[in-house]
Amino acid sequence: MKIALIGYGKMGKTIERLAIARGHEITEKFSQFNPFLNANSVNADIAIEFTEPNLVKEHIEHCCKLNLPVVVGTTAWYADFEEISQSVLKHNASLFYATNFSLGVNLFFEANKYMAKLMSNYPEYSCNIEEIHHTEKKDAPSGTAITTAEGIIENHAGYNGWDLSNKNDKSIHIEALRLPKVPGTHHVFYESEIDKITLSHEAKSRDGFALGSIVAAEWLLLKKGVFTMKDLLKFDN
């Protein structure tokens, strides 16, 4: 499979290393020095995009114009999701997106939903989320933390939103911490006056995120439409 990398920072370089190890070829490397939007054609079967939220919409639209399937790992662009999704479908194009491509994180998401259903029966436990990422991460809270909060809100009768301020009893408080050299750690806490239950996921490196995006690209290659990790992992089946 020929892969175009849209974004060639630390994540792009990790994807390159793992993709080559899986027998794929990196044919294009786009960055601020070689902008993807300047490309009139791309010698690739598929693109993997890890850049910045303000660039995602134009990058996906350009992929649609070039008939280039794209896997998007950038987060914090979801306010434009409906518009982008309609554009992808209109062009009969292919988009795979996720707030996190790690298999472990997606298992964590499913365990989190199940835990929320259980804890909904025990209002004496309050819930909050803590997420820790590297200091270079620009969005806070992380997309993973937001997805975690949404999983709780969908399954727990006691919560109808999330916030960073901890001022609303019906909202899940998210504590977003930024520390050097932390790939990503997420904790869900349920705490009462007598004990505390913790559900956690800790990434050891970027490799899990990078490998997941490559597996998503392999899965997406001959498909049309808009997909996410639920489609790939078939958790609902």
Catalytic residues: 133, 137
Residue 184, phi-psi category: left (phi > 0), alpha (psi -120 to 50), beta (remainder): left
Task: State how far the Cα of 75 lies from the Cα of 94, in Å rounded to an integer.
Answer: 18
Q: How far is CA 212 from the centre of its chain?
A: 10
Phi then psi dihedrals of residue 180, to 5 deg? -65, 140
Residues 6+ apart with CB under 8 A from 1: 24, 25, 45, 46, 217, 218, 221
CB atoms within 10 A of CB 175: 15
Residue 217 amino acid letter? A
Sign of torsion, CA 75 77 79 83? negative
Tokens of 153: 């809100």
Tokens of 154: 């969908």
Task: State how far the Cα of 42 lies from the Cα of 66, in Å rounded to an integer.
Answer: 8
Residues in the chain: 237
Q: Using an 8 Å Cβ cutoff, are 194 and 73 in contact?
A: no
Q: How far is CA 178 from the centre of its chain?
A: 18
